[in-house]
Chain A
Amino acid sequence: MAKAFLFILLSLVIVGAYFYAPLAKGLKEYTRVLYFHVPAAWVTVLAFLISAWYSLQYLRKRDMMLDAYAAAANQLGILYCLVTTVTGAMWAKASWGAYWNWDPRQTSIFILLLIYAAYFSLRSAVENDQDRARLSAVYSLLAFATVPFFIFIIPRIYESLHPDPLINAQAKIKMNIKMLQVFLSSLTGFTLLFLWLFNLKKRIIKLSAHFEEIEEEYE
């Protein structure tokens, strides 16, 4: 059911992004990347937030399941982060003429990618389960404290060529109604896709924990 709904919604978004949404004045075809790049960026941050939340809960309750959820959210987050980075670089090539030029926005997404990668290298470096859960939860929260700095402060200090993000200084949305329809459906679709994947992961984690228990009983 959820699968079918997501399939239809995301198909509609793809069709809508190319054929339904008009181009704003003076903008070229490649600006349609907006309908995929921005939702992916939003989910990257969302996944990071969810992971930080589970990390905090782990430190409070010391339940190994919570640690597994935090790791699962980060695994999905790194995927979306890659999508954001690659679509952003492609757009930058078309619009600015170079794939990468350390624009503040590019720096911040790259740092997020580094943090995600560092999180997993920390996880693989700790053998004891409890230690791994505790240390990675601490790292997740530490990194989380620095993220607002990248997203909100650095792009304000340094001039960025990046188009205004949705949360801009004037608090205005510069899209016409058709663009907004496609954009918001895409945002919903990406978020639901993430939540669906995350839910699958959670079920896998619960099932494998359950099977481990059964195995232990038989032994």
Chain B
Amino acid sequence: MFHEVWILFKKDLLQEFRSKAAINAIFLFSIVTLTAVSYSIGSHAISNFILAALLWIVIVFSALSAFSHIFLKEEEAQTADTLKLIAQPTPIFLSKWLFNTLLLTLLLMVIVPLFIAVFNFQVKNIPLLLLSIFLGDIGLASGGTIVAALIAKASRRGALFSVLSFPILLPVMVVGISAAQIAFTQEGSPLFPSEITALFAYDVVLFTTSLMLFDFIWND
């Protein structure tokens, strides 16, 4: 099982980093989002509370642009059926989820430091910020991956991915913003406020439900 996941994950990794077309577009899109947000604020001094919301807007928009590709590419290249033949649904979902998590983590490693540099402010509680973003990352990837699998099977996709995933990902955003507000404003605040517990609980719920429901999407 773990071996299967690893092989499938490596296949996606090789495929994506060989052509780089999709990855480049995804990275560029998050830079564009960051630019749009940063430019519209200009050099006005804004409070840390608003900064927390802006950070999560950039994160969620980057995530929305990044996730749908992983399943769409299988449908577009018509390789989904081959994938069905060689692997069980669970390893497929896990490998796709792993890839999306890695992709978003890489994105965030670029976006978050850039965001802090662009807006020129100090984070008071860095461990809390990192922890909340990491948990948010996992939650976004779980919800995003299952919705990506859903819309890959739909015939008219359009803006469907954002519409379907937004209500499911919003709790992550709401709680993430409030955790970031604490991290931006309070020095020496506890590492595990109730926001972290809520994020963790939501991650577990979302991940398990997605894993259980994926079989029904994949096998028709």
Contact = CB atoms under 8 A, between A and B. Distances in A.
A132 B157 CA distance: 13
A157 B209 contact: no
Contact of B168 (A117, A126, A146): A146
Contacts of B209: 141-142, 145
Interface in A42-72: 59
Interface in B175-202: 175, 178, 194-195, 198, 201-202
Contacts, number: 91
In this complex, the interface size class of chain B, counting residues with CB under 8 Å from chain A, is 20 to 34
Nearest to B193: A157
A121 interface: yes
Q: Which 3 A-B pairs have the closest CB atoms?
A: A145-B209, A114-B167, A115-B167
A14 interface: no
A146 B153 CA distance: 22
Contacts of B178: 157-158
B150 interface: yes
A135 interface: yes
A90 interface: no
A66 to B, nearest CB: 14
Nearest to B202: A149
B220 A131 contact: yes
A134 B160 contact: no
A21 to B, nearest CB: 36
B194 A135 contact: no
Interface of A: 59, 107, 111, 114-115, 117-118, 121-122, 125-128, 130-131, 134-135, 137-139, 141-143, 145-146, 149-150, 153-154, 157-158
Interface string B133-167: 00000000000001100110111111010011011
26 contacts: A118-B163, A118-B166, A118-B167, A122-B150, A122-B151, A122-B164, A125-B156, A127-B156, A134-B216, A134-B217, A135-B150, A135-B153, A137-B216, A142-B147, A142-B213, A143-B167, A143-B168, A145-B209, A146-B171, A149-B202, A149-B205, A154-B171, A154-B174, A157-B175, A157-B178, A157-B195
A198 B151 CA distance: 29
Contacts of B206: 145-146
B170 interface: yes
Most buried by A among B146, B157, B174: B174
A48 to B, nearest CB: 12
Contact of B150 (A59, A114, A115, A139): A139
A149 B153 contact: no
Contacts of B151: 122, 125
Given A135-B150, A142-B168, A149-B171, 12 more contacts: A114-B167, A118-B163, A122-B151, A125-B151, A125-B155, A131-B154, A134-B220, A141-B213, A146-B205, A154-B171, A157-B175, A157-B198
Contacts of B155: 125-128, 131
B194 A157 contact: yes
Given A107-B174, A134-B220, A157-B175, A142 B146 contact: yes
Contacts of A135: 150, 153-154, 217
A121 B161 CA distance: 11
A114 to B, nearest CB: 4
Nearest to A127: B155
Contact of B217 (A125, A127, A138, A154): A138
